[in-house]
């Protein structure tokens, strides 16, 4: 069997103009970046609306709580689109741009795998059209404006010891830059730190904006610091919003690439789901929904994180309503959630993960039950996709199917997209088409006019299964301050570990009897949400002891190797 990277490099790509033309995108709506990728002009949205193009079905792909084994959510997202096209539907994929932090850190590439990939794979994983770099530059320009204003007399009376916007970069560098001191020895010495670029408010704005001018307004509302009297200091106050928007002028356009089967893929924005809101852009989804019959998008990490934010932040701001949730799982990942197995980096998998163990699967299905319930809580039909591995047995697969249906899923379908591409996703596609015909009674988890604490407690209790929430002193102070400033009407973007339904990464399966500690709450006023920090959650990840970047190189012919 060829490796993922060999499959990608052997792909016969079509010129991106052909992919665009087949989708209904005109030449004058494309901004080419070589032969195989292109930006799409936002003017296409006005044209499609004037032509009264109806909105297609909106499909969100999510998953059980992630394990070190990987569940194959991106593989399934791409493969479902392939499957839909295989059965004669016009479907478009919308996914996030990978951050270089995970690419060179713990995860590696994020282009899918096997015969369910996007290409050009190397470009997709490494810079693509530079959007994340534009985000970092815009963010850091704002930081420079703040420091320059303080240096040149501080006319706005900025409180140097209060929270100030942090600089960002697109590398996992917590161990050196997560906590730093700047201005050492001077009158404005302070402690700060770096965040990863995809967790920045600028990135969130890119993902949630509706057009260039809306982005300009949102950047203007970004709070960079506060005065000694407690008044917010915004980008508009420091007169840097215009310059920041200029840096983001091209980034606001989605990038069009293709799959191995030449179906269209919009790549746009890349906010993390555990730190930020974890979904690709509203703009890309709006294009896909009017160009195709089905838009298949992906929410980051488990349904308790990315999907919850998809519903309560992204759908709330966009006005778009989902038709179906596809929840991805694997036999081996559910066995991990039984709590009986461990994965050690660089070591062979526990043999128990590869041999039939119905009891372990059933025990691990407690996590699947909860995540199905999380989707159903929002009134959306659920189809479970069982991402198949060769070691899975019919009895294990049947155990998952029965458990999924009992928990409220429409059905559970075997997905073989990694090995077979679109043909391997045909049954999943048929199940999604059937589920999309059923009435959905979409509802938000909370109302915006609820107090901040009530919204946080609702998410913790209903999505995570917590008994309650405790607010540490800094979080209490922020609740009072943000309520006074009128930010209490914003939605909530929880920042928590992706490795557990709880705030504690060590608690697997479906933990109970826990209370969620809220350490701090921060405001992304331009993006339009508050984000509480739960437990030990950090906004800058660090490289693991064996980073994925150790295996990435070029071969004698100059080809990229080790990117998966």
Q: Are residues 483 and 421 in the same domain?
A: no
Neighbours of 449 (CB within 10 A): 9
Query: Are residues 33 and 115 both part of a single domain?
Result: yes
Report the CATH number that the domain containing residue 236 is assigned in CATH.
3.30.1510.10
Q: CA 139 to CA 355: how far, in whole Å?
A: 49
What 177-185 contacts at long range (C-beta under 8 Å, 24+ apart), as own/partner pairs, is 177/540, 178/538, 178/540, 178/542, 182/147, 183/147
**For residue 14, what are its two tokens?**
């079509």
Q: Do 140 and 114 have their domain in common?
A: no
540 in a domain, yes or no? no
Task: Flag whether 524 is in a domain.
Answer: yes
Q: Which domain covers residue 221, as residue numbers?
A: 131-247
Q: Is 145 part of any domain?
A: yes
Domain termination site, one of 436, 461, 476: 436
Distance between CA 261 and CA 117 in Å, rounded?
A: 9
Q: Where are the beta strands (DSSP E) in 64-193?
A: 91-95, 112-113, 116-119, 167-169, 180-182, 190-192
Q: Which helix (H) or strand (E) holds 327?
A: strand 324-329
Domain-located, residue 542: no
Structure token pair of residue 9: 């490099």
Same domain, 239 and 257: no
**In this structure, is residue 557 part of a structural domain?**
no
Cβ–Cβ < 8 Å for 34, 17: no
* Cα(98)–Cα(55) distance, integer angstroms: 27
Q: Are residues 381 and 269 in the same domain?
A: yes
Query: Which sign does the torsion angle of CA 436, 365, 503, 270 carry?
Result: negative
> Residue 46 sits in a domain of what CATH number?
3.40.50.300
Residue 539 lies in a domain: no
One domain for residues 97 and 170: no
Which helix (H) or strand (E) segment holds residue 235: the answer is: helix 235-238
336 found inside a domain: yes
Q: Is 114 left (phi over 0), alpha (psi -120 to 50) or beta?
A: left
- The string of DSSP codes covering 56-67 is -EEEEEEESSP-
Kindly state whether residues 298 and 428 are assigned to the same domain: yes
Are both 360 and 255 inside the same structural domain?
yes
283 and 375 part of one domain: yes
What's the structural domain count of the chain?
Answer: 3
Cα(384)–Cα(380) distance, rounded to whole angstroms? 13
In this structure, are 275 and 374 located in the same domain? yes
Domain membership flag for residue 550: no
Last residue in a domain, options 377, 406, 436: 436
Torsion of CA 218, 219, 222, 228, to 10 degrees: -130
Going from the C-alpha of 228 to that of each of 154, 168, 528, the distances in angstroms are 11, 25, 24
Same domain, 280 and 233: no
Helix or strand (DSSP H, E) at 521 = strand 515-524
Which tokens sit at 156? Answer: 């706005």
Q: What is the CATH number of the domain that holds 526?
A: 3.10.410.10
Same domain, 327 and 255: yes
Closest CA to 534 of 470, 445, 476: 470
Which pLDDT tens digits describe the chain residue by residue (564 residues)? 576 767 767 778 999 999 999 999 999 999 999 999 999 999 999 999 999 999 999 999 999 999 988 899 999 999 999 999 999 999 999 999 998 888 888 766 788 999 999 999 999 999 899 999 999 999 999 999 999 999 999 999 999 999 899 999 999 888 888 899 998 998 899 999 999 999 999 999 999 999 999 999 999 999 999 999 999 999 999 999 999 999 999 999 999 999 999 999 999 999 988 888 999 999 999 999 999 999 999 999 999 999 999 999 999 999 999 999 999 999 999 999 999 998 887 788 898 899 999 999 999 999 999 999 999 999 999 999 999 999 999 999 999 999 999 999 999 999 999 999 999 999 999 999 999 999 889 999 999 999 999 999 999 999 999 999 999 999 999 999 999 999 999 999 999 999 999 999 999 999 999 999 999 999 999 999 999 999 887 788 887 877 878 888 888 888 887 776
Residue finishing a domain among 213, 228, 247: 247
3-state secondary structure of 289: helix
CA distances to 222, 295, 561 from 78, rounded to whole Å, are 34, 11, 22
375 preceded by a cis bond (ω within 30 of 0):
no
């Amino acid at each position: 069997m060829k490796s993922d990277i060999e499959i990608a490099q052997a792909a016969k790509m079509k010129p991106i103009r052909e992919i665009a033309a087949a989708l209904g995108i005109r030449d004058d709506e494309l901004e080419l970046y070589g032969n195989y990728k292109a930006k799409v002009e936002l003017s296409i949205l006005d044209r499609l609306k004037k032509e009264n193009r109806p909105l297609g079905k909106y499909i969100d792909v999510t998953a059980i709580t992630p394990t070190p084994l990987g569940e194959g959510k991106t593989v399934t997202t791409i493969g479902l689109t392939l499957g839909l096209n295989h059965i004669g539907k016009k479907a478009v994929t919308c996914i996030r741009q990978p951050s270089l932090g995970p690419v060179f850190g713990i995860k590696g590439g994020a282009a899918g795998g096997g015969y369910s990939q996007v290409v050009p794979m190397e470009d997709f994983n490494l810079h693509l059209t530079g959007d994340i770099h534009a985000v970092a530059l815009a963010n850091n320009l704002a930081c420079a404006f703040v420091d320059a204003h303080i240096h040149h007399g501080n006319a706005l009376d900025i409180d140097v010891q209060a929270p100030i916007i942090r600089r960002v970069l697109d590398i996992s560098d917590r161990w050196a830059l997560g906590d730093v001191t700047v201005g050492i020895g001077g009158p404005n010495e302070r402690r700060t730190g770096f965040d990863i670029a995809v967790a920045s408010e600028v990135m969130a704005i890119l993902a949630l904006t509706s057009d260039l001018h809306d982005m300009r307004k949102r950047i203007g509302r970004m709070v960079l610091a506060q005065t000694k009297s407690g008044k917010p200091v915004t980008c508009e106050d420091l007169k840097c919003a215009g310059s920041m928007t200029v840096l983001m002028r091209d980034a606001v356009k989605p990038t069009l690439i293709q799959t191995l089967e030449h179906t269209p893929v919009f790549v746009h924005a890349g906010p993390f789901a555990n730190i930020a809101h974890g979904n690709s852009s509203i703009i890309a989804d709006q294009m896909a929904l009017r160009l195709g019959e089905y838009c298949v998008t992906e929410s980051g990490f488990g349904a308790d994180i990315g999907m919850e934010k998809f519903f309560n932040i992204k759908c709330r701001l966009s006005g778009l309503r989902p038709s179906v949730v596809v929840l991805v799982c694997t036999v081996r990942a559910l066995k991990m959630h039984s709590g009986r197995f461990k994965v050690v980096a660089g070591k062979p998998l526990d043999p128990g993960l590869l041999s039939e163990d119905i009891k372990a699967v059933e025990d691990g299905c407690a996590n699947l039950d909860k995540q199905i319930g999380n989707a159903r809580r929002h009134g959306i039909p659920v189809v479970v996709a069982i991402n198949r591995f060769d070691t899975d047995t019919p009895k294990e697969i049947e155990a998952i199917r029965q458990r999924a249906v009992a928990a409220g899923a429409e059905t559970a379908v075997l997905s073989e997209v990694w090995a077979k591409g679109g043909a391997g996703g045909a049954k999943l596609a048929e199940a999604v088409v059937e589920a999309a015909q059923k009435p959905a009674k979409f509802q938000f988890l909370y109302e915006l006019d609820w107090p901040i604490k009530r919204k946080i407690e609702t998410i913790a209790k209903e999505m995570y299964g917590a008994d309650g929430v405790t607010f540490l002193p800094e979080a209490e102070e922020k609740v009072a301050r943000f309520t006074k400033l009128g930010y209490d009407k914003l939605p909530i973007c929880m920042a928590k570990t992706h490795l557990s339904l709880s705030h504690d990464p060590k608690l697997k399966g479906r933990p109970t009897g826990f209370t969620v500690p809220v350490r701090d709450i921060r405001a992304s006023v331009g993006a339009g949400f508050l984000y509480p920090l739960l437990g030990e959650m950090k906004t800058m990840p660090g490289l693991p002891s064996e980073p994925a970047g150790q295996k990435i190189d070029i071969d004698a012919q100059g080809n990229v190797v080790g990117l998966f």
